[in-house]
Structures are given as C-alpha cells and as structure tokens.
Amino acid sequence: MALVLAFAVTLYVAVLISDWANKTILSTAVLFLVAGLVVGSGAFPGVEQPQFGQLKTLSELALFSVLFSDGINTGGLASIRKGWRLPGRALLVGLPLTIAGIALLGRYLAGMTWPVALLLGSALSPTDPVFVSAIFSVKAVPKRLKHVLNIESGLNDGLALPAVLIMLSRVAEKGQETYAIGWDLALGVLIGIVIPWVGIRIEESRVFHAVGIFEPLLAFSLGIVVLALCYATGGNLFLGAFSAGITIATVSERASGAFHRFGEIISELLKLAALLALGALLAPRLLQPLAWREVAFIVLATFAVRPVAIALSFIGMGLSRKEVLTVGWFGPKGFASVVYGLLVLGAGVRRGAHLIGLAVILSIVIYSSTDILVGRWFERHTKKEPSEISENAA
C-alpha cells in the first residue's frame, strides 16, 4: 500500500504543476521517476520494494496500452501510406543503423560479446514520443516532423522486438528457437487484426450499436480481448496491441475517435505508475560503480548514435538541417526499452539490464526537459524561415 500512496501523492503533485510543466522544462515523467528513486532508496522505512514480476507485468500493461493507443493515433493504413516516405526511411534505414551503432559501442567500448551488444542495441533502439509530448503541441513545428516521430515511435517497438527476442535466445540458457519466436510474433499480429475487425463489424450491424459512455469502451473492450488472448495463446502482446490499434483506426473512424481521450488517460496512468515502480526497483542498484567505458557507452548510445543514423537515413529527402537535427535528437528511450530491459534481466544479463535502466533514466530526464526548448526554437524561427514550416508531407 505504501507504493500506492506514493503514486497517489505524486499524481496529485503532478496535477498541481501540470500547467508549469507544459510551459517550462519541468517534466511530470521525471517527477514520477524521481519519486520512485526516493521511495526505493530506503528514505521511508517500511516501504516495500516492488518485485521483479510485478514490475514486469505493470510495464507490459503500460507498453500494451501505449502501443494500442499509438496504433489508433496513426489514423489507420490509409494515413500511414499517405505519409510513409519519411517514417519509412527512419524505420528501414535509421533503425538498423541505430542498432548497429549501439552494438559497435557495446562490443568495442564496453567490451561485451556480440550477442549481448546486439541485444542492448535492439533494446535501446526504440523511441517513445511520450517523453517529448510538448513538441507535438507547438504549431511552429512542421506537421511532417510530428508525423515522422509519431509513426516511427509506434512501429519501431515492434520492429525491434524480433531482434530482441532472437538475441535473448542466444544469450539465455533456455532461449526460444527462432521459429517459435516467429510464430509468437505472427500470432500476435493475427489476433490484433482479427478480433477488432470482427468486433467492430458486429457492433456496426443492424442489431447492435454502442452509445453514450459506452462508445469509448468499444475500442477498450476489444483491446482487453486482444490482451487476454495474447496472454492465453502466447501471441506477442506488443505486436498484437499495435496491430489492433491500426485495425480499429482503419475499420472505424468513429470507434477510434471516441476512444482517443479515454485511451490517453489510461495510458498516461499506467506509464506513470510503471515509471515510479521502475525507479523504486532501480534505486538500490543505481549507485553501483561503473567503469568509465560503461559511462561512455550509456551517454553515446543514448544521445549520439541516433542523430548520426537519422542524418544518414535522411540524405536526399529534402529536409532542412534543423528538421534533420530535430528528428535525430528526439530519440527518447521509453517503455519499450524498459520492458526489453526487464527481459534482459530475466535472462540473467544483469550488467546489460543495469546499463539499459541507466540509459532510460538519463534519456527521460534529458529529452523530456528539452522538448519545450526545441519547440520554442521553432517558434523563434517561424517568421524568419517560413519555408521550413511547410506542412506538406514528404
């Protein structure tokens, strides 16, 4: 109950300072992370530490919710296809380059084996726009940049997942076979497509119809069914979530629109709870001594690799230097990396999990404190450089 009390108090404080957080570099995400670190440090005697299994389940639910909402927010397949050129480059070129760059740092700077280095590269490659949400509310930031960051962050979790699972099977004593991993991924996608499609078709029939407060619950209930079936059958939760979100957005604009605000609230609560629990879990290990090579790995993997990968992937795409820098800079490691880090810990790679945890913490603190600054940078240059805020999709 002590952690519940800590979450409730922190949530109340976050509500009180939310206006300041929207206008300054203050971040509610950092607030929950810090609260978790304080609780987990032993500053309050009698406060229980979260168990690994509890945090893993909470993080899985949070990531499922995030990916489900992200899938709905894409607007469906038609919207994805319409503006696919830039996100496609970021995903199909930038993501592999990011994995490779982090793996090289892990192998030659931190002295890891290739499987472990590739595992960390895959776990730290996904991005999470939740921690840079302020930039999405700035009108001066081009819509095509917001579109790239949103679509890329929604898809790169799932694209990195097969690499994470395959590398885990190489470093774990009892890893899954590649064909089993492929089946789980395919099953998750299948469940995520079939269940929402059938469910919405039934609701749109002449017999049934959702009204009033039950309209947002249509998408929510289908998401819960997908979650339960993935748990029951072994289908991949995260690909199931994202596939379900895209399917709902594709099949029913009404259902996705009704769910939008409700989904935002549910996702936000789960994410903040997971952050507090993560901080509490990491606190006892946070001050463990690190070699300078490990410190250098964390900093370079978090802040240096992605900008280079994005710059290379966007060559010839017609973006200004400022736009390339913006997309390259905003590569915050979020809940996907947290969940993948827990999988790494579960596989017995404690050093790798520790480095992932520290990278996520550093990423959240820095990126969530700079989004408003970059937004203001665009606002200052709006009148000087009107051509750079074109809203035409590339």
pLDDT tens, residue by residue, 333-370: 777 888 888 888 878 888 898 898 889 888 877 887 77
> Which residues are CB-contacts of 113 (< 8 A; sequence separation ≥ 6)?
107, 171
CA angle, corner 147, sides to 142 and 150, nearest 5?
130
Q: By C-alpha distance, which of 265, 237, 70 is closest to 156?
A: 70
31 within domain boundaries: no
List the one residue out of 323, 317, 331, 318 whose CA is nearest residue 381.
Answer: 323
Output the 3-class SS for the chain: CHHHHHHHHHHHHHHHHHHHHHHCCCCHHHHHHHHHHHHHCCCCCCCCCCCHHHHHHHHHHHHHHHHHHHHHHCCCHHHHHHCCHHHHHHHHHHHHHHHHHHHHHHHHCCCCCHHHHHHHHHHCCCCCHHHHHHHHHCCCCCHHHHHHHHHHHHHHHHHHHHHHHHHHHHHCCCCCCHHHHHHHHHHHHHHHHHHHHHHHHHHCCCCCCCCHHHHHHHHHHHHHHHHHHHHHHCCCHHHHHHHHHHHHHHHCHHHHHHHHHHHHHHHHHHHHHHHHHHHHHHHHHHCCCCCHHHHHHHHHHHHCHHHHHHHHHCCCCCCCHHHHHHHHHCCCCCHHHHHHHHHHHHCCCHHHHHHHHHHHHHHHHHHHHHHHHHHHHHHHHCCCCHHHHCCCCC
In a domain, 32, yes or no: no
Range of the domain at 80: 51-389
Domain assignment of residue 124, yes or no? yes
Report pLDDT digits (tens) over 127-150: 876 665 666 666 767 777 777 887
Render the burial of 336-368: b for 16+ CB within 10 Å, e for the rest: bbbbbbbbbbebebeebbbbbbbbbbbbbbbbb
Q: Would you say residue 27 lies in a domain?
A: no
Domain count, the chain: 1
Q: Is residue 13 part of a domain?
A: no
Q: What is the CATH number of the domain that holds 169?
A: 1.20.1530.20
Q: Is the pTM of this model over 0.85?
A: no
Q: What tokens appear for 283 in the block?
A: 């606190």
CA distance 276 to 6: 9
In a domain, 28, yes or no: no
Kindly give the interhelix angle for 350-381 and 114-123, rounded to the nearest 10 degrees: 40
Helical packing angle, 321-329 and 143-171, nearest 10°: 40
d(CA 144, CA 67): 21
Q: Does 38 reside within a domain? A: no
In sequence order, what are the residues at sequence separation of 6 or more whose Cβ sits closer than 8 angstroms to the Cβ of residue 236?
A: 161, 184, 185, 187, 188, 189, 230
Residue 359 lies in a domain: yes
Q: What is the pLDDT along the chain (394 residues), one digit of tens a residue?
A: 677 888 898 899 988 887 776 666 566 777 888 888 888 776 666 666 667 777 778 878 888 888 888 788 778 888 778 778 888 899 999 999 999 999 999 999 999 999 999 999 999 998 876 665 666 666 767 777 777 887 787 778 778 888 888 898 888 765 667 778 888 889 999 999 999 999 999 998 878 888 888 888 999 999 999 999 999 999 988 889 989 999 999 999 889 888 988 888 888 888 788 878 777 877 777 667 889 999 999 999 999 999 999 999 999 888 888 889 888 888 777 778 888 888 888 788 888 988 988 898 888 778 877 766 776 777 776 655 544 434 444 4
